[in-house]
């Protein structure tokens, strides 16, 4: 079985979700109980190992896991790696148990690689900020949740903020609440608080006034898919931050492992953006049972009944608005349109989908 921390219950409760079969894991992915690009890859790989160990059809399981959510390229990447290890072992003569063990070993390898990538991204990101910003402490703005909750290690953008904090340079972490599912308010604030970072929560639409007041030194975000041209798909609300950052001459830094780069997707327009249900916007969903006694998962309508909502889960930031892309293999500037493929080729966790 696969045991995951149910992120829909945070920050109120740390509840484990036990996945004994693939449909339960697929639902956990769709409901965002397990979420964030790198963790989706790891969960997908473990899901294939679970299917193999339980004697389910591995290809069928891989297919349903890979399509549970469309935008984060890491999900399909993790699934394909574990499935390929399973088939390679079977082809080499392993019995069902041996092939399942090979899938599990591959999932564990991916998990480890992601932890190592987190550490390297944090170091590269810290060095980059030291280069870009004047000394004296940084005020960093982040969106969605990109920390240890989404990774085998410390995460992506939030791992950089944590590194800044550890060297005593974090003046303030501005945390966007991240409507509609509140990954910033629920998860980043939870992680930042536990790490002892000085953080302040803001509504997404308050970011403009914060930039105007000169209170942001750099924006740090993660990514769900980076196209070959350097376009970055990330949590909806990232693109407006990039526009604001450019207007206010503030660096906009994307932190993501090379496994998030998809050289098979030519440009931003080719990235499939997940559309989520209306009710996530028309209702305020209580993710856990608060003191008021509301039931977990209860939606409180805030719009007239029958209202349709536009609810893309992600948006795309064009490369010309990205100051730098920090990966475990180094830092590139997508503005130049080159460097990404070379970085991916150097990295051990390069995405198997890439056509380099
Ligand atoms: C390291 S996480 C990068 C992204 O996956 C993150 O910013 C994000 O957009 C997550 O979206 P989610 O819909 O919560 O899975």
119-275+309-346 belongs to which CATH class?
Answer: alpha beta
Tens-place pLDDT, residues 330-344:
998 765 555 777 777
d(CA 184, CA 174): 10
d(CA 104, CA 177): 36
Answer yes or no: are the C-beta atoms of 115 and 194 closer than 8 Å.
Answer: no
Tens-place pLDDT, residues 252-307:
999 999 999 999 999 999 999 999 999 999 998 765 545 545 555 567 899 999 99
Phi-psi region of 237 (alpha: psi -120 to 50; beta: other; left: phi over 0): left
b/e code 193-226 from CB counts within 10 Å (16+ = b): eebebebebbebeebeebbeeebbbbbbbbbbbb
For ligand 1, say whether the CB of 150 is within 6 Å of any of its atoms: yes
In degrees, to the nearest 5, what angle opens at C-alpha 110 toward C-alphas 187 and 329?
Answer: 85
Residue nearest atom 12 in ligand 1 by C-alpha distance: 36
Phi-psi region of 199 (alpha: psi -120 to 50; beta: other; left: phi over 0): beta
Third-level CATH fold of 2-113: 1.20.120
CA distances, 276 to each of 125, 221, 273 (Å): 32, 21, 10
Residue 333: what pLDDT? 75
Q: Which of 5, 347, 26 shows the shortest CA–CA distance to 147?
A: 5
Residue 356: what pLDDT? 19
Residue nearest atom 1 in ligand 1 by C-alpha distance: 146
For ligand 1, say whether the CB of 156 is within 6 Å of any of its atoms: yes
ipTM of the complex: 0.98
For ligand 1, say whether the CB of 159 is within 6 Å of any of its atoms: no
Query: Mapping DSSP to helix (H, G, I), strand (E, B) and coil, where does residue 46 land?
Result: helix
d(CA 73, CA 324): 20
Distance 313 CA to ligand 1 centre (A): 9
For ligand 1, say whether the CB of 233 is within 6 Å of any of its atoms: no
Q: Which atom of ligand 1 is nearest to the CA of 37?
A: 5
- Quick one: 42 exposed, middle or buried, by C-beta within 10 A (0-12, 13-18, 19+)? buried
The phi and psi torsions of 260 (rounded to 5 degrees) equal -90, -10
Distance 289 CA to ligand 1 centre (A): 24
For ligand 1, say whether the CB of 35 is within 6 Å of any of its atoms: yes
Domain boundaries defined on the chain: 2-113, 119-275+309-346
Tens-place pLDDT, residues 150-170:
999 999 999 999 999 999 999
Phi-psi region of 306 (alpha: psi -120 to 50; beta: other; left: phi over 0): left
Query: Mapping DSSP to helix (H, G, I), strand (E, B) and coil, where does residue 95 land?
Result: coil
Distance 89 CA to ligand 1 centre (A): 32
What pTM was computed for the model?
A: 0.94
User: Which positions are catalytic?
Assistant: 224
Distance 111 CA to ligand 1 centre (A): 17
Q: Which atom of ligand 1 is nearest to the CA of 74?
A: 5
């Amino acid at each position: 079985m696969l045991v995951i921390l149910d992120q829909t219950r945070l920050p109120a409760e740390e509840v484990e979700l036990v996945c004994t079969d693939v449909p339960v894991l697929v639902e956990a992915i769709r409901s965002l109980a397990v979420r964030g690009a790198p963790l989706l890859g790891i969960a997908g790989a473990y899901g294939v190992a679970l299917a193999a160990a339980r004697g389910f059809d591995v290809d069928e399981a891989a297919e349903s896991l890979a399509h549970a959510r469309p935008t984060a390229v890491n999900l399909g990447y993790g699934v394909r790696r574990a499935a390929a290890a399973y088939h390679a072992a079977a082809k080499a003569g392993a019995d069902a148990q041996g092939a399942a063990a090979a899938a599990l070993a591959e999932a564990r390898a991916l998990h480890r690689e992601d932890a190592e990538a987190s550490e390297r991204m944090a170091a590269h990101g810290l060095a980059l900020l030291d280069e870009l910003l004047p000394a004296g402490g940084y005020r960093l703005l982040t969106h969605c949740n990109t920390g240890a909750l989404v990774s085998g290690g410390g995460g992506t953008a939030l791992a950089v903020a944590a590194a800044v904090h550890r060297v005593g340079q974090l003046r303030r972490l501005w945390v966007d609440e991240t409507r509609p599912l509140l990954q910033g308010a629920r998860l980043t604030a939870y992680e930042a608080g536990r790490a002892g970072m000085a953080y302040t929560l803001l509504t997404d639409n308050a970011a403009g006034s914060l930039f105007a007041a000169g209170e942001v030194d750099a924006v740090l975000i993660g990514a769900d898919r980076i196209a070959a041209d350097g376009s970055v798909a990330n949590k909806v609300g990232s693109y407006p931050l990039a526009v604001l950052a450019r207007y206010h001459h503030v660096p906009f830094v994307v932190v993501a492992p090379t496994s998030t780069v998809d050289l098979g997707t030519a440009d931003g327009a080719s990235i499939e953006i997940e559309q989520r249900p209306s009710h996530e916007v028309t209702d305020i969903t209580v993710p856990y049972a608060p003191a008021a006694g509301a039931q977990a998962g209860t939606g409180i309508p805030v719009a007239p009944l029958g209202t349709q909502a536009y609810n893309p889960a992600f948006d795309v930031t064009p490369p010309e608005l990205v100051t730098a892309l920090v990966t475990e293999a180094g830092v590139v500037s997508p503005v130049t349109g080159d460097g990404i493929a070379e970085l991916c080729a150097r990295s051990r966790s390069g995405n198997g989908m890439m056509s380099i």
